[in-house]
Structure formats: structure tokens, C-alpha cells
Amino acid sequence: MSSWILLLACALPVAAQLAPSDLRVEYLRDPLGVDVAHPRFSWVPVDSERGAKQSAYQIVVSTGGATVWDTGKVASDENAQIEYGGEALQSDKSYEWRVRWWDQNDRSSAYREAHFDTGLFSAADWKARWIRGANQMRKDFSLESKPVRARAFVAGVGYYELRINGRKVGDHVLDSPYTVYRRRILYSTYDVTGMLDAGPNAVAAMLGEGWFGARAAIVQIEVEMPDGRRATIATDATWKSAPGPIVADSIYNGEAYDARKETPGWDRAGFDDSKWSAVSLDDPPAGVLSSQMMPPIRVTGEIMPVKMTSPRPGMWVFDFGQNFSGWVRLKVRGEAGEKVKIRHAETLYDDGTINVENLRGARATDTYILKGGDAEIYEPRFTYHGFRYAELTGFPGTPQQDTLIARVVHSDVEPAGGFSASKTILNQIQHNIVWGIASNLESIPTDCNQRDERMGWMADAHLYSEAAMLNFDMAAFYTNFLRNIRDSQDDDGSVPDTVPRARYARGPADPAWGSAYPLITLYMYQRYGDRRVIEENFDGIRRWTDFLTSRAKNGTLDFSKYGDWVPIEPTPGPLVSTFYYYVSADVTARAAEILGKSQPAQAYRELADEIKSAFEQRFFNPEAKTYGNGSQTSNLLALTMGVVPKGTPTLGRLTDSINYQHNTHLSTGIVGTRYLFPLLTRTGNSALAYDLAVQTTYPSWGYMIERGATTLWELWQEKTGDSMNSHNHPMFGSIGAWFYEALAGIDFDESAPGYRKIQIRPQVVGDLRWASGTLKTIRGPVSSSWSRDGDTLRMEVTIPVSSTAEVWVPKGHLDEIQVTESGKNVWKDGRAAEGVKAREEDGQIVFEIGSGRYVFERSGS
Ligand code: BGC
């Protein structure tokens, strides 16, 4: 008896401690509509013990009680992206999957279970037809019994809102996503089991123009009855359509809603639609239907106004205190026919009225016409705005401060990281970066959120993608964006400047823009260890590099459109283009190496080397010892490429330019800025990088913030007129990666991607007293924070199960240091303590650790 109690007593804590958490299929939790044949499973092994390693795992996949895949116990420390290898998955089916793992002592965790649903795998699974009509469509149908399972598969070009029995289906907004429609349209999958009843039912849809500029939809509801029989409700010629209250909708211009034109009951069974017209069967858009395997756009939050003013009679201006993407929800009571207008803006004039000059052609105006009676609540469906201020006119009576409430709208990517430090300005920049990035994830990474643009400009996209990956879980989002790039690639291998291609983005991309293709592919591999994106895009990035070769002369490129965009000091376009030509060849070579393709690996490595020497020959100025025109960007791109021969004082020229010619300011555009900070850190100039980061005079991030910026501006200059000057352009947010990687010191290790190996190497610089970073990686949570007091430096580090890390403890100005870890001596008298793996390198003591939480403390000795 007593031994049984003993056993139970130790068994419980072990099971509770060893667990898999955060179960995902293709980066998503419990996803619906998985439409890949071999989905990948990931989990995070949890064990607070130090040096914990997964030694084996077991995955079991089943459907309807039958096992379709059982891996058995597989000896492996891999916990991410394990490919499904069982019986072929079937369309529109629900699967359960379970996983457990064993630690280094062969103790097994309990199983944890999650679910996924498959989508419609092939064109033949789609019985529904594309239909087109006015912006409301409906259909009554009847079911013999209440279903046990029902899934709705829906796509719209442009936007749709699906409704069943009077209620909106799901919580997506601005669906379907923006894709290269002639190649691919994304459908969403909803579990609608609970929305359907025995007897009469109705399905309805509201349609908006979206990016496609038309109103067409395809809906297929697959229903399973308790007795196993199935029914399909699908869009076809029997659906009816009629115009509804949305009298106009446009992403840029806003929505006009006339509540008097509502058709009450239209989305419920039994509505009299005899006067409605038949829909027309639309030619199917040429693109294939693929599942939306990324977080949809949602309303992710609300903001109450911080201030309401009335700069003119009958005009009220609401200040939400933050630039963001979305719209406002209006509460109003008045007479039928009264017309309320809401205009949106990023800035105000001195007299308190809104300044919409920088929206250029976007009217950004929502109009609501009252139906009269009780309080009415309205929010638009098929538009979004980038704004901080909303102007209200035509309002009956006097509004309250909560008459308008802001709704924040963007791709609902999960927050993945956090950065903070003892310097207020850094925290404010971090805030602006996070809001700037989030409000520009609108199913594609956009350049801005307010004016008549909001396109997937490719340089902007790759320049802020690393900062995005450190602040949000971007894996599914960028997997989709890379597919969009693939879908946009031309036969000659070129890709457009914007993806999808905007009407005005003609011809092949500027090399600095098109290199988003190889670069985002590489970043996905480095940060998520995702080999499949390399497999899927290798051919595409190689064709992109070959396209550049076709435009090159003697190893350099003259072809340039934008170069180092919006700089203080210009840089020759051919220099920037040749740099990205090198980057493209280099990434192609690396991708080939990763895939084990030795022939192309060697060929593209040789090409990269040739570009390097051609760059050196063409752009080096032997008298000045600088590159190109000697601009900061010219020199720093040369240094980043590694072309600068040892002993050449180019780095000194760069730091002189920053320190003296520009009085501790950068002069770089979006390209140079991205590479400047890592370069300065790599070359031992973190203190200077820090001075630039915390600078508050022009040009700097602090300059924007001191002038009230709550997101990042497009320009270093303060402008508000009728010109190109968005106040929410995340491209200068590239510095956000440096916050995590250099200041908090959480860096990946190229040799073991996906944070299997981690470099913890914080830069203890300037007047910074402490810095802290956290990051949810695919292998589990990583954190690094440090603080200092006199000569004492305290570093706290967390490393996930199965990962290893090198922790770099700086000696600072001290000759000899002593280091303890959790109070025990680990380094003293220039030597590691027994059993501790450590070495001295670059004036730092480097400790090798496994998983767990560690507290290092350095002091002088
Ligand atoms: C966009 C940019 C983009 C650029 C191309 C601008 O209008 O807003 O961010 O990269 O055009 O030069």
C-alpha cells in the first residue's frame, strides 16, 4: 500500500512536468480546411529541467475512431514540421491527432490531442458554381434533421460576408484575401454545425468589391446527418439576389450604407424573395481555389477615443491616440434619412480640423443614412482606413465621446515576442514598430494603410519581415505571401515590384524589391527552420537570379528604379542593384546547399563570387577608399557583402560620416538602414548604433516620435502636405530586429536554424541599464534579459527543450572577471569551473548551455 502511494506521488509531478504544448498543424492550432497532402505537425515539449532533450516522439492520427497513421516511437529530437506519412487524407474530413514525447531519460509525457479538418482537395470536390448578382444573395433550403457535422467552404472576389439563419458565419472580415486572382483564390472553411436546424434554413451573403473590383462568390456547405446521409448546399442558378443597404463600397473611398434599404429577415428562412432576381452564373475566375491557411483578417481590438473636439459647428473630431487600420463603429439615433459622414485622417491642421492631403486619391469616407427609430449601430464591412482621427459631420444632436469606437483590423497573427529596455525612447520606437507592422498586415504585407496604395511593395515587405517575425508568428502569413510571389512570377523569371501586381507596377521589379523573393524564403528557413518553403521556392528564386543575370553586364547591374529609397543622401542605383544581385545569387547558392543540390550550389556560389569582384572593380574608389559616391549606404553595403579588403579604412569612413559629417545621424534610405545596425554591431560599433537608435533630432526615429508619431513615417522628414508622406509605413521598422538580436541579444544560429541553436549575445551599451526580450519560437519560448549595476552584470536566459545556446558574457572594461550562475562559480581566474563548458572569445566569456533557465552574474575580480 505505502509503495503504491509513493509511486503515485512521484508519477504525478513527472507527467505534469513533461508535456507537449502548443500543438499545431501547418503553423495553425486546430485548423479547418487543411488542403496540403502532407501536413506538418509541431508541438513544444515542456520540461523545466535543465538540459532536457526530446529523445523520441509518437504521433497518432485518426478519423472517426480509425487510426490512419501511427508513427510508433520515433527516435528524434525534432518537434516541429513532422510531415504526415499515413494513408492519403480525404477531402472535407475531421481528424484527431495526438502526440507524446520522451525525454533523455526515456520518460514519456502524457498524450495531448488536437484536431484538424481537411479542405476541398480538388476542383472536382467543388460542386458549387461562382455566382454574381447584386450585393445581397440568398437561398432557402430544408434539412431533414439537425446535422451532426457541417462545414461551409466560401470564397469571394472581392469581399463577402456569409450569413446563416440571421447570423454572420465566423469572425473573418475583409475575406477573401488579396491574391493573384487569375492564378489563385483563397477559400475559408467554417464549422457551421451549430448554425443549422432541422427544417427550413437560409444561407445568404453580402458582397463587396474588395481588391478584385467585382462581386462574385462561391459557397458550398457540406452537411452530415445523424444517420450518415449527406447533403450539399451550393451556390447555383437558383440563388436569388437584390441590392441591399450598402450602396457603395471601396477599399480606398469607404462605404456608404443606407439603412432605409435594409431588407429585414432576408438572411432567414421564409423571406419572400419572389421579387428578387436570379443570380447569374459567373465564369469561374481562372485561379484555382486554395485554402486560406493563414490567420484571417479580424477585428483584433477596440480603442476608445482619448479626446473629442468640435473645431467647427456641426463638426466633431475624435482622437483615438493611435494610428491604426480599421474603422469606427457609430452609435446614432435620429430621423430616417439623416446622413452621417465619417472621414478619416492621420494628422490635424492647427485649427483642429483633419488633414487628408496625404491620402491622395483615397476619400476614406464612410456614410450612414439613418432608418429612424431606436438607436442604430453601424460599422462598415467592405472598406478599411488607416487613421488616428475621425471627423463626424451630419450627426443629429451632440455626440458623446463613445459615439465612435475604433475597431482595429488586421491579419490576426499571434504576438510572438516582446522587447523592452530602460530607455523610454526605445520602448516608444518598439511600440510604433509593432503598431506599424500589425496595421500593415492585411492578408499581404502592405506599404501603408491609408492612401490610395496599400500594396505589397516588395522592398518594404522584406525590409520589415525580420522585425515582423520577431514580434509576431508570421510563418503561415509569409508562406502564403511567398506563394503569391510565385504566382506573380513572369516567364522570364522576373517578379513585380508589388505582389500582387498593382496596375501601375509595370515591368520587372527593381532588384532591391524583387529580392524579397529569395530573402523572405531565407528568413523563413532561418527563423522557422522551414525547409519546405525552400523546396517550394527554390526553382522560383533561381529563376529570379537568372533573370538578374540576363540583365547584368560584366557582373554588375545598371538596372535600377528606386534604389536606396527615401534617403537623406542618395546612393547610386547600380550599386544597390548589384548588391541585391549578389544577395540573390548568395541565397540561391545557400538554398541549393540546404537542399543538397551540389551542382547549382557550386554554380551560384561562383556567380556570387564573380558579382563580388565585379562590384569591387566597378564601385571602389581607390583614392577615397570608399565605394560608389561614398554615401553611408554605399560603404555599408560593400562592408555587408564582405568585399572590402582587410586594411582598407572603409569602415572608418562610414563611422566618420555618421559621427562627423552627419553629427551622429544616419543618412540612409530604407535599404541602408536595414543593414546599418547589424553591420555596426558585427564590427564592434554597437555603441554608435545605439546612439543612432536613441537619437531624437532629425533624421531619426526619435524625431518622428517627438513630433507625435505613434507608428513610423514613410519619410525621415516631417511632411503633411499633398505629397508622398504616409505616417504609417513600417519599412524603417527594420531596426526592430536589432532590438531583439543585439540589445536583448536573442539571435538565431545559421548552422542550426529555427532556434535549434541560439546565440545569446546582448550588447551592453551606452546608458542602457537593462534590456529584455522574449520570443516564442517553434521550439518553445526563449528569453534574455540583462541588467547592470556598477560592474555587476546580471543575465537571465531561458532556452527551450532540445535547443542549445551560447551565452556571451561581456567583460566590458574589466580585465579580469568572475562569473557565477545561480550563485555557483562558473568562471574565475581566466578559467571555467569544472564541468562548465566555456571559452574566451572577442573579449567575452562564452558559455555553452542546454535547455532551462539560467542566471549569470558577472563581477570584477
Ligand atoms: C510606396 C513605397 C514603395 C515605393 C516604391 C511608394 O509609393 O509607398 O513604400 O516601396 O513606392 O518606390
Ligand 1 binding pocket includes 457 (Cβ within 6 Å)? yes
Grid cell locating 370: 439613418
Query: Helices 531-551 and 598-619: crossing angle, nearest 10°?
Result: 40
Question: Can you read off the three cell numbers belonging to residue 529?
Answer: 527552420
pTM for this model (two decimals): 0.97
CB 260 within 8 A of CB 369: yes
Is residue 448 within 6 Å of ligand 1 at its C-beta?
yes
To test the pocket of ligand 1, the residue of 448, 565, 712, 723 to mutate (highest count of ligand atoms within 8 Å of its CB) is 565
* Residue 12: pLDDT band with limits 50, 70, 90: very low
Ligand 1 within 6 A of CB of 564: no
Q: How far is the CA of 727 from the centre of ligand 1 (A)?
A: 13
| 466 C-alpha to ligand 1 centroid (Å) | 19
Report whether 801 contacts 779 (CB < 8 A). yes
Tens digits of residue pLDDT in 166-186: 999 999 999 999 999 999 999
**Is the CB–ligand 1 distance for residue 460 below 6 Å?**
yes
Question: 458 CA to middle of ligand 1, Å?
Answer: 9
Amino acid identity, position 93: K
| Cell numbers linked to 503 | 496596375
Q: How far is the centre of ligand 1, averaged over its atoms, from the C-alpha of 457 (Å)?
A: 6
Task: List, for residues 749-778, the tens digit of each pLDDT value.
Answer: 999 999 999 999 999 999 999 999 999 999
Ligand 1 binding pocket includes 565 (Cβ within 6 Å): yes
User: Ligand 1 center to residue 455 CA distance, Å?
Assistant: 9
The 10 Å Cβ neighbour count of residue 515 is: 27
377-432 pLDDT tens trace: 999 999 999 999 999 999 999 999 899 999 999 999 999 999 999 999 999 999 99
Q: What is the pLDDT of residue 57?
A: 98
Which atom of ligand 1 is the closest one to the Cα of 513?
10
Confirm if 710 and 435 have CB atoms less than 8 A apart: yes
Of the candidates 357, 161, 178, the residue with the CA atom closest to the CA atom of residue 246: 161
pLDDT-derived band of residue 286, with 50, 70 and 90 as boundaries? confident
CA nearest neighbour of 239 among 381, 127, 129: 129
Q: In terms of Cα–Cα distance, which of 223, 294, 300, 410 is closest to 31?
A: 294
Nearest CA to ligand 1 atom 5: 562
Would you state the cell numbers that stand for residue 242, as one nine-digit string? 437584390
Q: Can you give the pLDDT at residue 205?
A: 98
Mean pLDDT estimate for the chain: 96
State how far the Cα of 80 lies from the Cα of 44, in Å rounded to an integer. 8
When pLDDT is cut at 50, 70 and 90, the band that residue 287 belongs to is confident
Mutation test residue for ligand 1: of 457, 464, 561, 670, the one with most atoms within 8 Å of CB: 457
- Which amino acid would we find at residue 306? V
Strands 297-303 and 626-627: unpaired
Q: Is the peptide bond before 287 cis (omega within 30 degrees of 0)?
A: no
Would the pLDDT of 743 be above 50? yes
Residue type present at position 707: R
pLDDT, residue 861, reads: 75
Segment 786-821, tens digit of pLDDT:
999 999 999 999 999 999 999 999 999 999 999 999
Query: Does 1 score more than 70 pLDDT?
Result: no
The answer to whether residue 78 scores a pLDDT higher than 80 is: yes
pLDDT digits (tens, 9 = 90+) for 115-138: 999 999 999 999 999 999 999 999
What's the pLDDT band for 285 if we cut at 50, 70, 90? confident
6, pLDDT greater than 70: no
Decide if 207 contacts 98 (C-beta within 8 A).
Answer: no
Find out whether the beta carbon of 447 lies less than 6 Å from any atom of ligand 1.
yes
Distance CA 541, CA 607 (A): 14
Q: Quote the ligand 1 centre to 729 CA distance (angstroms).
A: 9
HSE, side-chain direction, 13 A CA sphere, residue 153: 33
Residue owning the nearest CA to atom 12 of ligand 1: 562
Residue 560 CA to ligand 1 centre (angstroms): 14
Amino acid, single-letter form, for residue 196: L
pLDDT tens-digit series, residues 305-350? 999 999 999 999 999 999 999 999 999 999 999 999 999 999 999 9
Using CA positions, which residue lies closest to atom 9 of ligand 1?
447
Cα(426) to ligand 1 centroid in Å equals: 26
Give pLDDT, residue 3: 32
pLDDT for position 8? 34
Across residues 677-694, what is the average pLDDT?
98
Atom of ligand 1 nearest to the CA of 451: 8
Tell which atom from ligand 1 comes closest to the C-alpha of 562. Answer: 12
CB-ligand 1 contact for 562 (6 Å cutoff): yes
- Known catalytic residue at 302: no
Contact of 800 with 779, CB cutoff 8 Å? yes
Active-site choice (26, 222, 379, 453)? 453
Summarize pLDDT for 341-367 with one digit per residue, the tens.
Answer: 999 999 999 999 999 999 999 999 999
Q: Which atom of ligand 1 is nearest to the CA of 724?
A: 7
How confident is the model at residue 323, as a pLDDT? 98
What integer pLDDT is reported at residue 13 of this predicted model? Answer: 46
- How far apart, in whole angstroms, are the C-alpha atoms of residue 608 and residue 586? 6
- Catalytic site residue from 714, 741, 806, 821: 714
What confidence tier does 75 reach under pLDDT thresholds 50, 70, 90? very high
Neighbour tally for 140: CB within 10 Å = 18
Closest-CA residue, ligand 1 atom 8, reads 447
Q: Where are the beta strands (DSSP E) in 483-600?
A: none
Residue 714 CA: which ligand 1 atom is closest?
Answer: 9
The model's pLDDT over 835-851, given as tens digits with 9 standing for 90+, comes to 999 999 999 999 999 99
738: CB partners within 8 A, 6+ apart: 677, 678, 681, 689, 693
Say if residue 212's pLDDT is above 50: yes
714 is catalytic: yes
What is the 497 CA–ligand 1 centroid distance (Å)?
Answer: 9
pLDDT > 90? residue 16: no
Spatial separation of the C-alpha atoms in residues 456 and 571, rounded to whole Å: 24
Nearest CA to ligand 1 atom 1: 447
Q: Model confidence over 510-534: pLDDT tens digits?
A: 999 999 999 999 999 999 999 999 9
Q: With bands split at pLDDT 50, 70 and 90, how would you rate the model's confidence at 2?
A: very low
- Asked if residue 770 lies in contact with residue 817, where contact means CB atoms within 8 angstroms, the answer is no
CA distance 197 to 331: 33
**Preceding amide of 176 cis, omega within 30:** yes
As to burial, measured by CB atoms within 10 angstroms (0-12 exposed, 13-18 middle, 19+ buried), residue 214 is middle
Q: What is the pLDDT of residues 468-520, one digit of tens each?
A: 999 999 999 999 999 999 999 999 999 999 999 999 999 999 999 999 999 99
Which of 460, 497, 566 to mutate for ligand 1's pocket (most ligand atoms within 8 Å of CB)? 460
301 Cα–ligand 1 center, Å: 28
